Amino acid sequence: MLEERKNQKATRNLYTFLVSKMISSVGFGVFNFGISLYILSVTGSALSFATNIVFNVLPRALAAPLAGYVADRFSKKRVVVASMAGITVSVAALIVYTFMFGFSVSAIYTITAIFSTIGAFNGVAFSSALPNLVGKQRLQKAMSYNQVSYSIGSIGGPAIGGMMFGFVSMKVFLFAMMIAYFIALCLEATMDFALYETKVKVKKESVLTSMKEGLHYLSGKPLVKTLLMVTLCMNFFFSAVSVGLVFVLVQKLGVPSNQVGLIEGSGAVGMLVMSLYLSSRSDLRSPLYFAKKSAFTMCIIVACITLPLFFSLSSLHTFIFYMLLMVLFSAFGVLANTPIGIVIQNVIDDEYRGRVFGIIETLSVGMGPIGSVIFGALFDRMDAKVIFICTSLFLLLCITWLMRPSKIGYDHDEFIS
């Protein structure tokens, strides 16, 4: 009877998590789309737009290690609820500021930095709390639902934001986001974060000592270190796609801008479909073997980006080809990343999970911009065909070496025990 009640609570946590993440993802997608259009319409400057991206990425990367310490030191539920309340109050403060002084680019930069910082605490605490919320047996479904909410936000946010931008003011965008985050806050407050929690005695130690202990713990987990290296390699090399695809479409093939937008947006469809598939199927028996094969497929897809540069295709065929390619690329990205995330969640002890995920967040968030800068410079100086083919081969070799059978195990049972 007790176990049945526990399962019911876990199921309720699972679906509350899905709805909460979906609402906040769509709300942020609407806001982010409106902010992007506002900056470009007011300043007409790509540099101003890029500056906002820096304010969105850098504070999150810097705050993540501290967020990990806080998630391990205090109640994860309090951290999640307090951070979501902080985001909601920040939006309300921006609304008040807008009514008093008007909307400005400097205000956007400030609120973006605040969201990014507080978002690090919310994201790290939520990630480290997932096994406590739903149990290890439901991790695949929970992480798939997280991808589903992100995909719906990526699709629905710009779609709703695009419809709203021409008809309503930025104040309405802010109200929409505040309401979305307030609803998410109310939902998260009802979740039982201690359902599968392992009670541990929290040691009284300084922030710096605690962070060092987290690094020491991570150094003693060779499997986690290997999977982290795989993730960082994928984030770095696949940034060639985010930078180079638009360059190839616009500069090399002359694809119209409206088609470029559809091609880029089709990736979210692939993520959504594959996330729904993973959420509905049974647990993967060999998650790391599955992730390895999916990553190999992504490498092949990266190489295939060059095909229209070798063979002449009609504009329609080029459009269809790249749409299908991006659907597959994003779909296999889910198949590669989700199993790796599940294994990491399972093998890390509860008392260190926040700090480990804080480290992962910092490294993962930071690797994307570094890769974008490097590949951006390369695409200005080298043939795009060479870059994509070399990227595919280098990553293939990295994954083959890092995920060789002698380095990591492929058995499912060892990761859920």
> Using CA atoms, how far apart are residues 414 and 376, in angstroms rounded to an integer?
41
Nearest to 249 by CA among 301, 182, 309: 309
For 37-187, list the strands marked E by DSSP: none
Output helix, strand, coil percentages for the chain, rounded to the nearest 5.
85, 0, 15
Q: What does the DSSP assignment read for 341-399?
A: HHHHHHHS-GGGHHHHHHHHHHHHHHHHHHHHHHHHHHHHHS-HHHHHHHHHHHHHHHH
The pLDDT assigned to 359 comes to 86
pLDDT at 415: 52
Domain boundaries 7-191, corresponding CATH code: 1.20.1250.20
Closest C-alpha to 195, from 417, 377, 17? 17
**What own/partner pairs with CB < 8 Å and gap ≥ 24 does 218-223 have?**
218/352, 218/356, 218/359, 221/347, 221/348, 223/343, 223/347, 223/408, 223/409
pLDDT tens for 52-73 read: 777 778 888 888 888 988 888 8
pLDDT of residue 200: 65
Token digits for 341? 């995330």
The correct CATH number of 216-416 out of 1.20.1250.20, 3.30.720.120, 1.20.120.1200, 3.40.50.300 is 1.20.1250.20
The whole-number pLDDT of residue 216 equals 85
| pLDDT value for 166 | 61
Q: Of 34, 24, 20, 40, give the one whose Cα is nearest residue 172.
A: 34
Please report the beta strands in 39-82, taking only residues with DSSP state E, as ranges in sequence order. none
Nearest to 82 by CA among 193, 200, 175: 193
Task: Please state, in angstroms and rounded to a whole number, the distance separating the CA atoms of residues 388 and 240.
Answer: 7
Nearest to 325 by CA among 378, 394, 255, 381: 255
Contact 278, 140 (CB under 8 A): yes
The predicted model scores a pTM of 0.82
As a whole number of angstroms, the distance between CA 318 and CA 306 comes to 11
* Long-range CB contacts (within 8 A, 24+) of 246-249: 247/379, 247/384, 248/305, 248/309, 248/384, 249/322
Task: Please list the residue range(s) of the chain that carry CATH number 1.20.1250.20.
Answer: 7-191, 216-416
Report CA-CA distances (Å) from 209 to 121, 212, 216, 220: 19, 5, 10, 17
Tokens representing residue 382 in the block = 């080298």
- Give pLDDT, residue 83: 92
Burial class (CB in 10 A: 0-12, 13-18, 19+), 102: exposed
Predicted pLDDT at 332: 93
In angstroms, rounded to a whole number, what is the distance separating the alpha carbons of residues 295 and 339? 11
pLDDT digits (tens, 9 = 90+) for 379-414: 888 888 999 999 999 999 999 999 888 777 655 545
- Name the residue type at position 183: I
- Tell me the backbone φ, ψ of residue 280, rounded to 5 degrees: -100, -15
Low-confidence ranges of the chain (pLDDT < 50): 413, 417
